[in-house]
Amino acid sequence: MALRQHLAQKLEQRLSPQQIQLMKLLQVPTMELDQRIKQALEENPALEEGAEDFEDEFEQEEEFDDADGEDEFDLSDYLDDDVADYKTQANNHSKDDEERVIPLSGEQSFQEKLTEQLHLLYLEDEQFTIADVIIGNLDESGYLNRSIDAIVDDLAFSMNVDVSEKAVLDILHLVQELDPAGVGARNLQECLLIQIKRKQDGDISRYTAKKILENYFEEFTKKHYDKIAKKLEIDDHDLKDAIDEILKLNPKPGGSMRESAKNYQQIIPDFTLFESEGRLELGLNGRNAPELKVSREYETMLRSYAEGAKSSKSDKEALSFVRQKLDGAKWFIDAIKQRQQTLLLTMGAIMDYQEAYFLSGDETKLRPMILKDIADVIGLDISTISRVANSKFVQTNYGIFPLKYFFSESLSTDSGEEVSTREVKKILSDAIEAEDKHNPLTDEKLMDLLNEKGYNIARRTVAKYREQLNIPVARMRKEL
């Protein structure tokens, strides 16, 4: 096939570097914005903290004249002309790629804490090796999910240790005596039994709880309390005391150590919204409006190198470098200002749209609202609204909420009115909270209750909303 040349016209829409920078800044919360600003200050010497200096041109010229007598700025302090540019650049990634740094934890792992306890026991080298392999096979909840024969094979092929299954079981029972109670169990039943056996002190309720876990664990998980009471020949009061003892046990002993070492991030609201004399007032966190300015020294250097760029090649290169840094500083400042305006514009639209809720705090007054509703009000793209709502929080008189909390789909009532699905979920959770726990409401009864209130909803939709609220089925909500 012969090669041919031809002319073609096409229309493309591409984001400028400034727009890409704005999109990245829009989606970050207040805490991360601080880090972005610090990073920009370190990378660009033409960007400085502080309020802008609003001096007239005459004062700037005087300052420029005074600077002529000072030592000339030496660009070699910043650029090394002896090293080629290609040796200091990497072209294996795009400038638009978002860098995500994964922090390394300095805390001890769950297995390391168990290994420390092993050193306090009098174990032979072979026993310690077996225990160490068992601990290494525990999952994050503290369970041993590998079979004993598989561990025997691991020891034989990887450690050159030939042992029997009975020897591994004996060491496993030793590991199960470590803290926290329940580690090393092979299933939930064994985990709970290990814990309840450590509590044996002659208490009749704990003895009954041990018998339930040993002989009627399946009935307990399915909450067939009548069968358990009949087989153990005990009344409901004694059964309730035993069940309470079981509920005090920890089903994930390994998770307790992970939670204690977990670092919790403090939420800093991006917006403050409060009521004053019947009117809502919106404020933006001061960290979202930092005072940044372009370096005056770099502006002076730009003028200086602009004069010599006509005759000197080095001044021309220096002029290009200074201009690049000044443009980057101005773009970043403009992006921060535009971010502030977009955040306030979007939150202001949400505030007006959900005014009834913000004034009363009644969740049933939340109007159905999707991203498109806010985008149509303020004239921005849906993707921009999504970036603003991502990881942002607002402080109200009724608590701190993520912006995504106020977005929900709609549901039609008998009268044709559009209501928020969050309103239906609130009614659903209130009904379940007020139900008789001895005879909890089924999904069918909850559907009838909502239909009586005028909400057109099917049973499968009730089940979906109940699962979204992390509420179990009626049988699992039953209490003695």
Topology of domain 410-477, per CATH?
Answer: Arc Repressor Mutant, subunit A (1.10.10)
By mean pLDDT, which of 11-25, 90-104, 318-332, 376-390 is the weakest? 90-104
- Count of other CB atoms within 10 angstroms of residue 191: 26
Question: What are the beta bridge partners of residue 144?
Answer: 138
Calculate mean pLDDT across residues 422-433.
Answer: 83
- Cα separation, 315 vs 306, whole angstroms: 8
Instruction: Select, from the ranges 20-29, 148-157, 326-335, the one with the highest average predicted confidence (pLDDT).
Output: 148-157
pLDDT range class, residue 349, cuts 50, 70, 90: very high
Pairing relation of β-strands 279-284 and 399-402?
unpaired
Is residue 56 predicted with pLDDT exceeding 80? no
Is residue 54 predicted with pLDDT exceeding 80? no
Is residue 192 predicted with pLDDT exceeding 70? yes
pLDDT at residue number 257:
56
Per residue, the 3-state secondary structure of the chain, as one string, reads: CCCCCCCCCCCCCCCCHHHHHHHHHHCCCHHHHHHHHHHHHHHCCCEEECCCCCCCHHHHHHHHHHHHHCCCCCHHHCCCCCCCHHHHCCCCCCCCCCCCCCCCCCCCCHHHHHHHHHCCCCCCHHHHHHHHHHHHCECCCCEECCCHHHHHHHHHHHCCCCCCHHHHHHHHHHHCCCCCCCCCECCHHHHHHHHHHHCCCCCHHHHHHHHHHHHCHHHHHCCCHHHHHHHHCCCHHHHHHHHHHHHCCCCCHHHHHHHHCCCCCCCCCCEEEEEECCEEEEEECHHHCCCEEECHHHHHHHHHHHHHCCCCHHHHHHHHHHHHHHHHHHHHHHHHHHHHHHHHHHHHHHHHHCHHHHHHCCHHHCCCECHHHHHHHHCCCHHHHHHHHCCCEEEECCEEEEHHHHCECEEEECCCCEEEHHHHHHHHHHHHHCCCCCCCCCHHHHHHHHHHCCECCCHHHHHHHHHHCCCCCHHHHCCC
Structure tokens that stand for 136 in this block: 């290494």
In the chain, CATH 1.10.10.60 covers: 410-477
Calculate mean pLDDT across residues 77-104.
Answer: 49
pLDDT at residue number 81:
45
Q: List CB contacts of 74: < 8 A, sequence separation 6 or more.
A: none
pTM (2 d.p.): 0.56
Render pLDDT for 309-334 as a digit per residue (tens, 0 to 9).
555 667 677 777 777 888 888 888 88
Is residue 89 predicted with pLDDT exceeding 70? no
Using a pLDDT cut of 90, give the percent of the chain over it. 4
CB-CB contact of 279 with 26 (8 Å): no
Render pLDDT for 452-468 as a digit per residue (tens, 0 to 9).
888 788 888 888 888 88
Is residue 27 predicted with pLDDT exceeding 80? no
pLDDT at residue number 75:
40
Render pLDDT for 400-418 as a digit per residue (tens, 0 to 9).
888 888 888 777 666 666 6
